[in-house]
Structure 1
Amino acid sequence: MRERSLAEPVGRAGRGRVACAVAPAVVALAHIGPAVTWLPGLRRRWFPGLAGQGRPDHVALTFDDGPDPVSTPHFLDALGGLGVRATFFVLGENVVRHPELSREMVRRGHELGVHGWRHDRPWLPSPGRDARDLLRAAEAVREVTGRDGPRWYRPSYGVLTSGRWAAARRAGLRPVLWTAWGKDWRRDATPESVRAAVAADLRGGGTVLLHDADHASAPGSWRAALGALPGLVADCRVTGLVVGPLAEHGMTGEDGPRTRR
């Protein structure tokens, strides 16, 4: 009886230690689990709304990480010459630093979405910070542009954690990733490589990801995306596809952990 009475407290303590060790792993898994939607094949098949799948005769053209006074004006001029409007996912800190450029983007007919306050890495759970930063970024876009508010949210690195899902809902934003990207952030990117990378995955109804700034990319890499633009637009138009912003993309429904059954 003595051995048993001594063993029982030890067993409870052991279980407590196991629970304490497992709890952080469970929290981390719950935090990062939704990020599997980063995988392009899975996203396109099971989460078409999140992937940015729209009407079959349209392609949504989107840019991340701006605005930047060095690079973004070149994209505005190029898009103006092509007769194309796009959606720019902007960082709140850049909007505040460059309010006049942000207003010019809207004046030229482009749409601003939210890319976060800054280009943070999302690996550690921080739901309070996620909510504050996303609301702050959305408010910055509203104040600078004078519009009712942005509609779209694309998380930095395309990693949509549970905290970012919840923060987007609180801010009234719909998360949208992409179906095709140009890999234009790389140091070795060229206009030809960007065009080929997009073409490999682009279909009618797709959403294209490019970058109008090198905020989180190799220095000067934005020039590869800029050089690829005329060819990308031509590729779409020759197959009868219209290029425009997400607002005209005809997306319906919503994908996310709380809405799918």
Structure 2
Amino acid sequence: MSLVSGRAWRTAAALLPVGVAAAHIGPAATWLPGLRLRFCPGLSGTGRPDHVALTFDDGPDPESTPRFLDALDDLGTRATFFVLGERLVRDPGLARETVARGHELAVHGWTHDRPWRPAPARDSAEIARTVRAVRDVTGRRPQWYRPPYGILTSGRWAAARRAGLRTVLWSAWGEDWTSDATAASVRARVAADLRGGGTVLLHDTDRHSAPGCWHSALGALPAIVRRCQDAGLTVGPLADHLHPAGPARPGAVLPAGEG
């Protein structure tokens, strides 16, 4: 081996871990809402322009999730709940009740961990395990996947595809996980990006966020739904929202107003 080829080999070997890490975490750039909506509308959950998809993450939680189910019943609205497998198997009755009340369950992962290190085998096993848990508990196979924290990696994207799931993030969120969130702040934050065809992210639990913050999301929920309805939009789960043939064009931003 020549001196030049030896140096080239050592350089390539040194850069290999960097390349692997970049390939692993590169898709996480889609966490940026502006970039995602412009270049990956399907990943943003852009769907029917006359509809808004309502989604909740991190449950089920026996303390808070039933409050959201009751509020949604009062509003005559259905939603998609992205559940954690470890939470689901602890309270299968609540998962079954959620489905019985007209909502759909989707996959948020088995646990709520951050995927900084590549672990494709673990990702595949845990996503498949959560799919099986949803199916076994509810009798229905989930269709959608959203990674914890919205951090999408190449391994998790591939694992979701192998499990037959479509990855969906969001186009509007309430930032309802913070300690200083209020019903008013959640309403305002959602309203800033809400439009026909959009997907809204809220949380039905505080298990992985500031204690008690779910009260803010619950307090904001009626105004968010009414604002959509006043604009002539229907609100419902992702199953009623996304086009099988691909993403639709986003609708117009809703007019400014309270809530």
Q: TM class by shorter-chain length?
A: over 0.9
From 215, 220, 225, the equivalent of 1:223 is 215
Determine the C-alpha separation between the residues in 1 that align with 2:227 and 2:244.
26
Determine the C-alpha separation between the residues in 2 that align with 1:227 and 1:100.
25
Contact 1:62 1:86 in 2 (8 A): yes
Structure of greater Rg: 1
SS state at 1:51 partner:
coil
Determine the C-alpha separation between the residues in 1 that align with 2:242 and 2:13.
47
From 119, 125, 134, the equivalent of 2:118 is 125
Q: 1:214 Cα shift?
A: 1.0
Determine the C-alpha separation between the residues in 2 that align with 1:105 and 1:127.
31
Q: 1:10 Cα shift?
A: 4.8
1:96-119 Cα shifts (integer Å, max 9, x gaps): 011000000000000000000000
Determine the C-alpha separation between the residues in 1 that align with 2:181 and 2:14.
44
Q: Which amino acid aligns with 1:211?
A: H
Determine the C-alpha separation between the residues in 1 that align with 2:47 and 2:222.
22
Where do residues 39-118 of structure 1 align in structure 2 (5 Å cutoff)?
39-118=32-111
Determine the C-alpha separation between the residues in 1 that align with 2:59 and 2:87.
7
Contact 2:127 2:163 in 1 (8 A): yes
Q: 1:9 Cα shift?
A: 5.2
Counterpart position of 2:201: 209
> Does 2:38 match 1:15?
no
Structure 1 length as normaliser, TM-score? 0.92
Counterpart position of 2:127: 134
Q: Which amino acid aligns with 1:36?
A: A
Cα 1:158–1:254 change in 2 (3 A) is farther
Q: 1:20 Cα shift?
A: 2.1
For the aligned residue pairs, the C-alpha RMSD in angstroms reads 1.3
Greater fraction helix:
1
Q: 1:254 Cα shift?
A: 5.0
Q: 1:13 Cα shift?
A: 4.1
Counterpart position of 2:192: 200
Cα 1:41–1:252 change in 2 (3 A) is farther
Counterpart position of 1:157: 149
> Does 2:186 match 1:186?
no
Q: 1:188 Cα shift?
A: 0.3
Determine the C-alpha separation between the residues in 1 that align with 2:202 and 2:26.
26
Q: Which amino acid aligns with 1:169?
A: R
Determine the C-alpha separation between the residues in 2 that align with 1:253 and 1:30.
28
Determine the C-alpha separation between the residues in 1 that align with 2:8 and 2:186.
54
From 229, 235, 240, the equivalent of 1:248 is 240
Q: Percent identity?
A: 67
Contact 2:45 2:242 in 1 (8 A): no
Determine the C-alpha separation between the residues in 1 that align with 2:242 and 2:121.
32
Q: Which amino acid aligns with 1:78?
A: A
Unaligned residue ranges in structure 1 (runs of 5+): 1-7, 256-261
> Does 2:12 match 1:24?
no
